Structure formats: C-alpha cells, structure tokens
Amino acid sequence: MAKVLVVTSGKGGVGKTTSSAALGAALAHGGDKVVVIDFDVGLRNLDLVMGAERRVVFDLINVVQGDAKLSQALIRDKRLENLSLLPASQTRDKDALTEEGVARVLGELREKFDWIVCDSPAGIERGATMAMRHADVAVVVTNPEVSSVRDSDRIIGLLDSKTEKAENGDRIEKHLLLTRYDPARAERGEMLKVDDVLEILSIPLIGIIPESEEVLRASNMGSPVTLNNPASAPGRAYFDAARRLKGETVELTIPSDKKSLLGKLFGRRAA
Amino acid sequence: MSLMSFFNRRTSAPVARERLQILLAHERGIVGGKPDLVAQLREEIIAVVRRHVMVEHQNVQVKMNRDADISTLEIEVEIPAPVPLGAR
C-alpha cells in the first residue's frame, strides 16, 4: 500500500530538500520503490541535490497539465534503480499546480511506488499546501531555533486543518525531524534541547540529525547524504529515521562523526 | 578508508562549482545563445514529427544530458506501422 509522505517545515533553509533526498534514498536502499517529487515550482533544487540536474526533460507541471506522461517525466536515479525523481518546473509559477492535476498524478504514482515523498517549498502558499494536501504522513523538519519551531507549529496547524485527511475527519500521521542539532551546545545551554522542542510542538520524534560537514559535502557532490556517506553521522541518523517511518522500533541515539586520526592531525577536513 | 579516498574527499567544492557553472550556463542561455536551447529543440523536433505522423505522447522518449562541452538530446519516436493497403 503506497504512502504519500510530505516533508515540510514552513521556514526555509532548515533541510527539507536535504531530508527528502536522504530519506527517499534510505527508503529505496531498503528495497522499497520510491519517488521524490519537488513541489518548489519556480525554484527547483531537488534535482541539483540529487545530482540529476543535467537530465531534466519534463517536469511536474508538464504532467499535471497533460503535456507529458508520467513515464516521460520521471528521472531514474543512476545509483539506485528503485529511486526516481519528479522535478519541479523552473519557468512556471505555483498557480499551475491544480488540485485535480496533483491528485491525478499522485493517484498514478500510488500504483507504481511504495513511497511518494513530497518535498514541500517553504512558506504556507499554494506550493506548500499542494505538497501536503494528499499526504498520509508528514515529516516536520525543524531546527532547534526559535523561528523554526514557531513556523513548525504553524505548519502542524495546517496539517491538521487543510489536508484531505483532516477534512475527512481522519488524523494525519505527523513526525518531528530535528535537524542541525548540536548535542554539545544543547548540553551547554546554548541551544534548545530535544525535549524542549518536543514539549513545545508535542508531536512524536522520528529522528535527530546532527549538524555535520557531511551534509554540505553531499550536496556539493549531488548525492543524498545517505548514499554519499551512509556511515556518516547524518547518514546513519537518516537511515534510522527511514526505518522508523517503516514502523520499525529503532533506539533513538544521536550519531556522531568520529574523526579519524588523520582528521584530528589536520584539524578539519574541507567540505 | 584508503589514502586515495581520503584525498579525494577534499574535492567536493570544485565539483559543486563545476556543476553550478554548467547548470547556470544552460539556464542563462549562454550555451546555444538562448535559454535552454536543448529544451526548445526538443519541442520543435517533436512538432515536426507530428506534422507528418500521428504519434502518441507515450511513444516519444526524450533524454537530455546538459554538459560543459557537449550536450546531447536523444529523441526516440515509435512511428506506427502504416496500415497495409489490403486492410483498408
């Protein structure tokens, strides 16, 4: 049974695209058929983060408007054959996303894939509401920082009122993904702790992604961090989160990057 | 991790720089003299084919690869077999 998962946050720059790519690749690595869709019409970037920017032919809007078939627009990942990308249009605006069109495309995707990961744009406008509209599950990406937590609270409110599930009286499954977390700073009282954020937002935690150089390195390379360096701290944290999404019970830890002896000698590695 | 891969890991920023330069050159229309020439060629080639034969969307497969030196555009059109005279 296919699941539509929206990765959302309200605030920009907290790691929605990074998380969509990393979770999508982690789910696909486990054998599931996965498609990640970029809903950021006009400002697409998921293609770049996944390293498919040179191969974009058709996009979500072409499919929504019937100018291209889904099979023509899907880009198959070169590393994982059961991972696909549906890019956003770079030249159109978000009004081209019609509710019926998006519903039809998601319906077609549900027949072909196990997971449909919708990478939401920032904000609460049409792109964001279309990305969450038909979701079964939401991952709310939050940084341990005041403006991000506030915007997440706002998005949680929209998930509970503006989604198809909510309107039908169902509850949408919501999970918190805490990103860019620095346990040492939290311990020193310089950063909101996991429990602070959980207490304020009161939705269950799906994972904690530690602040790490590996995230920038992966985006430089055009590869989800779970594929670029699966053994890295964020790589392991995303793999754990993906297993929890599949219903497995995984002990909650905050992985850390152990520096190699060479790394320690040279102080830091260039990102 | 081998010594080679340790040194290779230092090279992610140049990769990012090159990827961006290629992508933006295409988006700004520096390659080919107009924004996304390859996409425009795709549209026009398909239109020309349609002028002569009726082809369905699903019978056209398009692949593009935008690169620094060479971009490639592959268009595969399945043209339906003509109806034999006797069958008319």
Q: What is the pLDDT of residues A228-252, one digit of tens each?
A: 999 999 999 999 999 999 999 999 9
- B50 reaches A (C-beta below 8 A): no
Q: What is the mean pLDDT of residues A44-56?
A: 95
State how far the Cα of B58 lies from the Cα of A51, in Å rounded to an integer.
26
0.80 cut: is pTM over it?
yes
Q: What pLDDT, on a 0 to 100 scale, did the predictor assign at position A185?
A: 95
B42 interface with A at CB cutoff 8 Å: yes
Determine which helix (DSSP H) or strand (DSSP E) holds A142, and give its type and residue range.
Answer: strand A137-142
Q: What string of DSSP letters covers A213-240?
A: HHHHHHHHHTS-HHHH-TTSHHHHHHHH
Closest residue of chain A to B58, computed from CA coordinates: A69
Please report residues of A whose CB lies closer than 8 A to that of B67: 54
In this predicted structure, what is the pLDDT of residue A236?
A: 97
Q: Residue A171 pLDDT > 60, yes or no?
A: yes
Beta strands A205-210 and B60-65, pairing class: unpaired
Mean pLDDT, all residues of chain A: 93
B4 inside 8 A of chain A by CB: no
Q: How far apart are CA A73 and CA A9, in angstroms?
A: 26
Average pLDDT over residues A148-165: 96
Rounded mean pLDDT, A130-157: 97
Among A50, A13, A35, smallest CA distance to A225 is for A50
Residue range A52-57: mean pLDDT, rounded: 92
pLDDT at B64: 81
Q: Say if B67 is an interface residue toward chain A (CB within 8 Å).
A: yes
Strands A173-181 and A137-142: parallel
What number is the average pLDDT over the span A195-220? 97
- Say yes or no for a CB contact (<8 Å) between B16 and A54: no
pLDDT of residue A269: 46
pLDDT for A270 equals 45
pLDDT band at A263 (very low <50, low <70, confident <90, very high): low
Cβ burial A107-127 (10 Å sphere, 16+ → b, else e): eebbeebbbbbbbbbbbbebb
What pLDDT score does A160 carry?
96
pLDDT of residue A35: 98
Least confident window among A18-27, A132-141, A184-193, B47-56: B47-56
Instruction: Tell me whether 0.95 is exceeded by the ipTM.
Output: no
Name residues 42-61 of chain A within 8 A of B (Cβ). Answer: 48, 51, 53-58
Token output for A19: 């998380």
Task: Name which of B6, B10, B62 is nearest A57 (Cβ-Cβ).
Answer: B62
Q: What are the residues facing A37 on neighbouring strands?
A: A86, A118
pLDDT for the residue A96: 86
Write down the pLDDT at residue A111: 97
- C-beta separation of B42 from B73 below 8 A: yes
User: CA-based angle A245:A35:A68, to the nearest 5?
Assistant: 155
Buried/exposed code over A135-145 (b: 16+ C-beta within 10 A; e: otherwise): bbbbbbbbbbe
Q: How far is CA A67 from CA A53, A71, A154, B73, in A?
A: 20, 12, 35, 19
Chain A neighbors of B4, CB-CB under 8 A: none
Q: What is the mean pLDDT of residues A142-163?
A: 97
- Chain A hits for B60, CB-CB cut-off 8 Å, are 72
DSSP label at A207?
Answer: E
Question: pLDDT exceeding 90 applies to what percent of chain A?
Answer: 86
At B28 the three-state DSSP class reads helix
| Nearest residue, CB atoms, B58 vs list A56, A71, A90 | A71
What's the pLDDT score for residue B1? 47
Mean pLDDT over A19-23 rounds to: 98
The closest CB to that of B13, out of A56, A220, A262, belongs to: A220
Residue B48 structure tokens: 């020309």
Flag whether residue A222 sits within 8 Å of chain B, measured between CB atoms. yes
Check if A269 contacts B (Cβ < 8 Å): yes
Whether residue A217 and residue B67 make contact (CB cut-off 8 A), yes or no, is no
* pLDDT < 50: residue spans in chain B: 1
Interface test mutation site (partner A, options B4, B12, B60, max chain A beta carbons within 10 A)? B12
Using a CB-CB cut-off of 8 Å, the residues of chain B touching A71 are 58
Average pLDDT over residues A202-213: 97
Which among B12, B57, B66 is the nearest to A221, CB-wise? Answer: B12
Nearest partner of A52 among A257, A210, A197, A221, judged by Cα: A221
Closest CA to A226 of A29, A48, A4: A29
Per-residue confidence band for A264, with pLDDT thresholds at 50, 70 and 90: low
Mutate to test the interface with B, among A220, A228, A262 (most CBs of B within 10 A): A220
pLDDT at A227: 98
**CA–CA gap between residue B63 and residue B42 (Å, rounded):** 10
